[in-house]
Amino acid sequence: MGETIGFIGLGNMGQEMALRLVEAGWPVRVWNRTKEKATELVKRGATLVERPEEAVEPGGIAISMLADDAALLEIFAADGPVVKRLGAGGLHVSMSTIHPDTSRRLAKEHAEHGASYLGAPVFGRPNAARAGMLWFAVSGRPEDRLRARPIFEAMGRETFEFGDDPGAANVAKLCGNFLIAAAVEAMAEAAALAEKSGVGAAGMLEMLGKTLFACPVYQGYGQLVVKRKFEPAAFRMRLGLKDVELAISAARAVGVPLPFADIARNRALAGINKGRGDWDWSAVSLGAAEDAGVV
């Protein structure tokens, strides 16, 4: 397939995404703090390395799928070994959900070493990643978007481009995650109303998921809301809170009020305080059920 890809970060999403690249024939080197998460990838043909810089080829492509801004900034520090090794002609494709300003900062710092940075956050849960059905929001230099396109095609169903600003794709991603959080809250409140009124919440959400709201969020998360199966988590509530807080921060920077985001933040924070931080983030729906006295 050509260039060796250094894949850094093997959480629930990263493992499945890296596996798609291996199966598509790309040479892939992987690094993760917890080595055991690379076991299946190594069996399938990936190479596990000891340090993150060893995953990167000079002038090659690095993909990161890390939990948050702090982890990304630590590994891709301005004068750190990963960015230095990537060097002139190198390309870092960041697929994490992070603050737009973090992407802009990294793009500037990478350029000082002759490397490029592409913001490419993903939409989809691990099952979609495994099936190669992710959506990508992408922004950065046109030539970098073109270079990375075969990678997106190996892992996803469609790529949406948002121009040259490396932070623009992160704005789009935060908007999307904010809308998911708002939708889960709305479904949870509607389910509580239906259940307390003697109407089956499952049937109600199934009807709406096939009619007025016939889309993956209402269909998929609607099932989670009514079945209340929150473990094992596909996406932890702690990470959901992080994303909502990033949306609030990005909105504050440009003077946009997000009152629904404040509700979503409070639901997630309350859930974490109740010991649900490592449950799937759809477990915020329990808050509405508890307020209504139906659980």
Positions annotated as catalytic residues are: 173
Instruction: Tell me the two tokens of residue 75.
Output: 């590994």
Rounded Cα distance between 75 and 70, Å, is: 9
Name the residue type at position 75. I
Distance separating alpha carbons of residues 24 and 1, to the nearest angstrom: 8
CB-based contact 90:59 (threshold 8 Å): yes
Where are the strands (E) in the chain, listed by range? 5-8, 28-31, 47-48, 61-64, 91-94, 116-119, 122-123, 134-138, 156-161
Phi-psi region of 67 (alpha: psi -120 to 50; beta: other; left: phi over 0): alpha
